[in-house]
Structure 1
Amino acid sequence: MKYLLSALLLAASVPVLADCKQPVPLSGLITVSSCDPAKSACLPAGQAIVEYADKVAGNDDPTQLNMALHANPWRFYDGDMRIQTVAELARKVKEVIEKEKKVERIALVASWTGVAPAPGRKPLAQQLAEVVGLPVGGLQGFLWLTRDGSIRTTQQAATALNGNVYRIAEGEEVMVSLATGWAISQEAEFLTQNNAEGLFHVGVGADILLLCPERALQAFEAAARLSHPIAAYNAALIRLDRKQKGDREAAQALLKQAAAAGDKPAQVALQKLRSKQR
């Protein structure tokens, strides 16, 4: 049984290198060649992700619930590239389980969900399992999907795209996280243009592809200063997860900003945060 949360994405990126503290030792460089539409039939990476995820083993098994979404060791993202907490995903899982009745296990078709983000912390798959009360399988690295639904993972320290737009030739495998990295190389331009949407996607790519929460936070907060509500929400949740000095106060200000703009998830999160302070 498939439950797909991935957004349809078009990816455009130049070589990007991760220079952040990682949850596991990473090594090596993987170069991905983008398909040239002048030479062969090409498929946008985001479209391939959606189509390939539809064929992952277990989609037709009523006892297995496949959850396909973007993730890193710290957090999930929904189709709008909004951070989704374990509790929020668990509610969606429980709704499906209640409706389908036959679900016995869950498979996270999502990068890094089987890896603990830090010593003393549990992998996302284990966190979700403890909330829903069913076995949950996670992955140990960056997810790659093939046309027949097969999956594999890699743990490279750097990923380079040979081309400006991430397209794949018909039938080629696709690196899921790389589809989020299109904005990273344009960060300086987005800053000059005061492009909130572009900076928001820099944050998404930094968190999911570069595995760099600190850089993601900077980009999200830059977009938040330009009144991007989801960026403000994401920045707030990263700060609340980081739990450094001043993070709670900064998170509350970010949530207040997003809530004032009409962002309902931010309104809910702000209410919960305030209730914990009483």
Structure 2
Amino acid sequence: MKTLPLIAFAAALFLATPALACVAANALEGTLSIPHCDAESDAANCIPGHQAVYDALEALEIPNEFTIGVQTSPWRMYGGDDRIITIEEVAATIREKRPETDRRVRLAGSWTAALPEGDGATLAQRLSAALDGFPVDGSDGFLWLSPKGGMRTTHQAFSVWKTGPYSLPRGGDVMVALVAGAMAQFEDRFAENGNAGGVVRAGVGKDVFMLCPEGALAAFERAAGMGSAIGAYNAGVMHAEAGDRAAATNWLEKASALGDAKATERLAMLRKASP
């Protein structure tokens, strides 16, 4: 078994936020209060969410499974720099690094084995297809990780937590999606402060926590307008996924012009695939 973390995270009042903002879904219901504490004032008893996720992935031990720890929405995956990671990229990593003794893959992210809106291929199914049918397991809702290596899921329509960066009591389970999701509410503030990276992070939060791909795309395009190559790249990938080749080309060209090598590569692939 090997756990390969692909996620890394940067790090008043109570806020009730819909876990679902843009996608009509029957899989979500109810309200969940999420435990919190202030890591800055009580470091002995609190832990930042990103650190809790890292520690939990280190403790995750599933015999004979190759585990990929990744920040996910039901539709796409994100790397530690908030860049969208494609199914093909993850499949290539698995082919390179999976030991022969691992007979299954575990995609340890939220909504990797279910879609909140119902029908359609899940990330786990798409990854399995890219691996020529190799078994891939995933999660059927918002993924929580235990510091002792456990996993569980929740399916709340609304979450209640203290606003600001996500911290939790030491020893508690961590909600993976909330690490980025807690930043979604600060998009306008990030933009006002000229923080393009923060706007990208807000976009990731809208996708993985609020389940709002439209909001995520708008945030990525906004960040691109502020000079973020990753924002432009993500926008290009999302437009390509939607089948809008012209828009995808436009945003990937912007990312490439900003010096993004992956955008240049993807742009070449897109043009090569053009009829």
Partner of 2:207: 207
RMSD over aligned Cα, in angstroms? Answer: 2.0
Deviations 1:142-182 (A, max 9, x none): 00011111110011112221243311111011100000023
In structure 2, how many angstroms separate the alpha carbons of the residues matched to 1:160 and 1:223? Answer: 27
Partner of 1:198: 198
Matches within 5 A, 1:1-278: 1-10=2-11, 14-17=15-18, 18-22=20-24, 24-37=26-39, 38=41, 41-58=45-62, 61=63, 63-97=64-98, 100-116=99-115, 121-133=120-132, 134-243=134-243, 247-278=244-275
Paired letter, 2:4: Y
- Identity in percent: 34
Name the SS for the 2:66 alignment partner. strand
Structure 2: gaps (5+ residues): none
Name the SS for the 1:277 alignment partner. coil
8 Å Cα contact 2:202/2:219 also seen in 1: yes
Deviations 1:157-213 (A, max 9, x none): 122212433111110111000000232222222333343112111111101110100
Moved more, 119-128 or 259-268: 119-128
Paired letter, 1:26: L
In structure 2, how many angstroms separate the alpha carbons of the residues matched to 1:13 and 1:86? Answer: 36
In structure 2, how many angstroms separate the alpha carbons of the residues matched to 1:220 and 1:190? Answer: 13
Q: TM-score, normalised by structure 2?
A: 0.91
How far the C-alpha of 1:120 sits from its partner, in A, is 5.7
Paired letter, 1:86: I
Deviations 1:84-125 (A, max 9, x none): 11111000000013xx23221111111101014766631110
8 Å Cα contact 1:14/1:164 also seen in 2: no
How far the C-alpha of 1:24 sits from its partner, in A, is 4.5
In structure 2, how many angstroms separate the alpha carbons of the residues matched to 1:22 and 1:82? Answer: 26
How many pairs does the alignment contain?
A: 269
Moved more, 248-257 or 113-122: 113-122
Name the SS for the 1:54 alignment partner. helix
In structure 1, how many angstroms separate the alpha carbons of the residues matched to 2:93 and 2:24? Answer: 29
In structure 2, how many angstroms separate the alpha carbons of the residues matched to 1:217 and 1:5? Answer: 21
How far the C-alpha of 1:248 sits from its partner, in A, is 1.8
